[in-house]
């Protein structure tokens, strides 16, 4: 263990737990709607928890044994109705949901095609699956997806005859790049190449929940393609400031997961505090309580876009050249720890993202916007980035190796890995 940790330390990729000071400005968390600090939501949650005092706090077991309740089933029905889905099934986390789906859904010989930037939880599930073929395609590339699917169809007679399934895994919004999947195009290609109906799209909506669509229903609902998508995963721990996740799917798939998804079967079900929070926050968004926060978030996205586009081109930072389509911004740099540490020293929390979380060469500082941020805070953050760029230029003009040495001193990326 020590040997492996030392290697990660040497490559500047060792992970550590960290704490932010209470006075720091958050540009890092997934709390997109700033609901974690909402006094109105807290009050509503405590009222709902008090009203449910007749229900035990703990679930008492897995849902298949003693952990099920009408309270949980009613929440599932409400969520399914809200998202225009036929059925819903709660999971303890998004990781449990993805790993459960992809470990048991593909049958012997089935095919799974996945975006190369798909969540690690999908990879975890695929490792345990009986799928005969697992192939990635270039991130968000409709052309590459068409090519990979075409090769599968050409080489597999059972796929052509509709006797073998092809499952496609994408995220509606990608957690590190913040870009949006070409969902409609992928669906059209599946319909065209697999006219017998054995092509199935599964969309992870973790980072679009609460942010995209009417009342934050997600990207699939915003596009109006609910009936064309096999399953959707929504998590509650990001914009909805709770915990757990839900899979929206046909009733037969819900029953199948109850019988075969080990991440559901062999774990204790969520207790009342978590279920109550899920119920409260969904009532909140259904009643339109988050619409003003959603609107403010999109204003700030546009505002930060404009500010970043004004930064100079530099070898130290790849400034985004296109407008972001989500609250997630990636500032790609060879020195992510140096930039992140500089911002954090000034009270602005951003995080460096390094391999293996992102591919080598894709090191970046990840910036997440929240509706609770202000334009003044955005201005200050961008100004800090500009000052950091100037410092790097100054160090390089003194000694070309100084900037790299300084970056390593802050836990920067070893250039041998770029």
Separation of CA 210 from chain center:
12
Tell me the pLDDT tens digit for each residue of 174-185. 999 899 999 999
Please give the pLDDT value at position 396: 66
3-state secondary structure 320-331: CCCCCCCCEEEE
Residues 153 and 232 in one domain: yes
Contacts (Cβ under 8 Å, ≥6 apart) of 122: 98, 99, 102, 114, 169, 204
Residue 6 lies in a domain: no
Residue 81 lies in a domain: yes
Tell me the pLDDT tens digit for each residue of 184-218. 999 999 999 999 999 999 999 999 999 999 999 99
Residues 92 and 240 in one domain: yes
Find the domain containing 322 and state its range: 19-37+290-417
CA nearest neighbour of 336 among 364, 314, 366: 364
Residues 311 and 172 in one domain: no
Residues 108 and 75 in one domain: yes
Give the number of other CB atoms < 10 A from CB of residue 228.
17
pTM over 0.95: no
Tell me the pLDDT tens digit for each residue of 333-384. 999 999 999 999 999 999 999 888 888 888 999 999 999 999 999 999 999 9
Tell me the pLDDT tens digit for each residue of 88-144. 999 999 999 999 999 999 999 999 999 999 999 999 999 999 999 999 999 999 999
Share of the chain above pLDDT 90, in %: 83
Q: Return d(Cα 325, Cα 313) in angstroms, integer.
A: 21
Residue 1 lies in a domain: no
Residues 358 and 377 in one domain: yes
When computed from its CA atoms, the radius of gyration of the chain, rounded to whole angstroms, is 23
Which of 286, 307, 329 finishes a domain? Answer: 286
Please give the pLDDT value at position 73: 98
CA nearest neighbour of 330 among 340, 318, 348: 318
C-beta separation of 295 from 212 below 8 A? no
In which band, very low, low, confident or very high, does the pLDDT at 397 lie, cut at 50, 70 and 90? low
Q: 236-253: buried (b, 16+ CB within 10 Å) or exposed (e) per residue?
A: bbbbbbbbbbbbbbeeeb
Domain count, the chain: 2
Residue 8 lies in a domain: no
Mean pLDDT calculated for residue range 269-275: 97
What are residue 363's phi and psi, to 5 degrees? -55, 140
Residue 270 DSSP one-character state: P
Residues 310 and 182 in one domain: no
Q: Return d(Cα 323, Cα 10) in angstroms, integer.
A: 36
Residues 280 and 379 in one domain: no
Residue 13 lies in a domain: no
Residues 110 and 252 in one domain: yes
Tell me the pLDDT tens digit for each residue of 8-39. 888 877 888 888 788 899 999 999 999 999 99
CA nearest neighbour of 88 among 106, 101, 73: 73
In which band, very low, low, confident or very high, does the pLDDT at 413 lie, cut at 50, 70 and 90? very low
Task: Indicate the helix (H) or strand (E) that contains 407.
Answer: helix 402-409
Structure-derived torsion over alpha carbons of residues 319, 322, 328, 332, reported in degrees to the nearest 10? -30
Tell me the pLDDT tens digit for each residue of 302-320. 999 999 988 887 888 887 7
Taking the chain, what is the end-to-end CA distance rounded to the nearest angstrom?
25
Q: Return d(Cα 59, Cα 274) in angstroms, integer.
A: 10
């Amino acid at each position: 263990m020590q040997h492996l940790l030392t290697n990660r330390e040497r490559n500047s990729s060792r992970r550590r737990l960290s704490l932010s000071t209470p006075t720091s400005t958050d540009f890092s968390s997934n709390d997109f709607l700033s609901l974690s600090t909402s006094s109105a939501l807290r009050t509503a949650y405590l009222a709902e928890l008090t009203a449910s005092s007749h229900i035990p706090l703990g679930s008492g077991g897995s849902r298949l044994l003693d952990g099920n309740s009408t309270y949980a089933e009613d929440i599932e029905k409400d969520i399914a109705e809200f998202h225009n889905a036929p059925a819903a099934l709660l999971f303890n986390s998004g990781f449990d949901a993805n790993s459960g789906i992809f470990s048991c859904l593909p049958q012997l010989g089935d095919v799974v095609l996945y975006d190369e930037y798909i969540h690690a939880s999908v990879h975890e599930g695929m490792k345990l699956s009986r799928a005969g073929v697992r192939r990635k395609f270039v991130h968000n590339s409709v052309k590459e997806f068409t090519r990979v699917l075409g090769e599968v169809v050409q080489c597999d007679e059972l796929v052509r005859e509709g006797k073998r399934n092809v499952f496609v895994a994408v995220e509606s919004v990608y957690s590190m790049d913040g870009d949006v999947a070409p969902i409609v195009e992928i669906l059209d290609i599946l319909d065209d190449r697999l006219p017998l109906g054995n092509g199935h799209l599964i969309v992870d909506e973790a980072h679009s929940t609460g942010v995209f669509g009417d009342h934050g229903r997600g990207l699939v609902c915003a596009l109006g393609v609910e009936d064309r998508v096999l399953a959707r995963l929504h998590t509650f721990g990001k914009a909805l400031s709770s915990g757990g996740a839900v899979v929206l799917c046909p009733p037969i798939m819900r029953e199948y997961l109850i019988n075969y998804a080990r991440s559901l079967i062999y774990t204790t079900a969520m207790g009342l505090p978590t279920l109550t929070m899920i119920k409260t926050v969904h009532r909140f968004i259904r009643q339109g309580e988050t619409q003003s926060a959603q609107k403010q978030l999109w204003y700030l996205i546009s505002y930060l876009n404009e500010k970043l586009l004004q930064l100079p081109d530099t070898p130290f930072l790849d400034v985004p050249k296109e407008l972001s389509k989500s609250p997630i911004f990636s500032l790609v740099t060879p020195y992510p720890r140096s930039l992140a540490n500089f911002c954090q020293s000034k009270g602005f929390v951003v995080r460096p993202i390094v391999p293996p979380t992102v591919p080598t060469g894709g090191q970046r500082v990840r910036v997440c916007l929240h509706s609770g941020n202000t334009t003044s805070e955005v201005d200050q953050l961008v100004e800090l980035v500009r000052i950091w760029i100037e410092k790097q230029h100054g160090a390089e003009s003194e000694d070309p190796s100084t900037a790299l040495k300084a970056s390593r001193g802050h836990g920067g990326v070893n250039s041998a890995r770029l």
